[in-house]
Amino acid sequence: MSERLIASERRIHLLIVLNIAVLLALAVASCRTTAAKDTKPQILTLSEIDIVDAHGVIRARLGGDLPDAVLNGKRVPRGQKASGLLLYDDTGQERGGYITFAPGRQVALTLDARDRPGQVAMLVADPDGASALTLSNGNNRNDLIELRNDEELGPSVHVMQNNRVAFHQPPQAIDRIEKTEMCTEMRGALKSMTRDQVLTICRQRASEEACQACLGQ
């Protein structure tokens, strides 16, 4: 009888211990669940984040006011304020980015050459809905291919080679080109640039016939 009582007491003690352990586990789980529900995601407000490699070279820069590009130690102005992400190679040279501009409010994905300014590939969307994909050889934009779609001139495929329009489809209506905002800008540029300089700029977007009609003789 005494042995049975001792065994029963041991079982009771074991059950008590097990019950206490279960209650503690439930309490801990409840606290964790409550804490998880009450925890809000942390938000960092920064003006710039620089990502460096093992040698301390900046390879990516995320910023609200990005600096101008630097090529061979010289600053190359962007023309507008830029915000977004810039990518750099292992020498620290800027090689492209995904950025927005102000005040123009365009958004662009750019790929840059190593030893010359300008983009060799650019996909850009204007705030008014126009879009364009341009492939060139950097700062020598005398050779380029462009796919464009905008409200003024409509969809087009444009190729320029050796500073001359080699291909443009579909043909542009000459009577329409003179009424476009692009033509107005080209004519305004004649006040500070030569006709040949403005013609070169026009050829990067429009057909030879359209540029000649816009600028006149």
- Give the orientation angle of helix 195-203 with respect to helix 208-215, to 10 degrees: 140
Kindly list the domain boundaries of the chain, sorted by start residue: 1-43, 48-171
Q: What is the pTM of this model?
A: 0.72
pLDDT at site 174? 78
Dihedral in degrees, nearest 10, Cα atoms 165, 113, 182, 172: 30
Long-range CB contact pairs, 89-92, < 8 A, 24+: 89/59, 89/114, 90/53, 90/55, 90/57, 90/59, 91/57, 92/57, 92/58
pLDDT at 98: 96
> What fold, for 48-171?
Outer Surface Protein A; domain 3 (3.90.930)
Cα(190)–Cα(199) distance, integer angstroms: 10
pLDDT at 33 over 60: no
Report d(CA 64, CA 152) in Å as an integer.
32
The secondary structure of 35-101 as a DSSP string is: HHHHPPPP----SEEEEE-TTS-EEEEEESSPPPEEETTEEE--SSEEEEEEEE-TTS-EEEEEEEE
pLDDT tens digits, 179-196: 888 899 999 999 999 999
Residue 125 has a CB neighbour count (10 Å cut-off) of 15
pLDDT of residue 163: 83
- pLDDT tens column, 109-132: 999 988 776 789 999 999 999 999
Percentage with pLDDT > 90 across the chain: 44
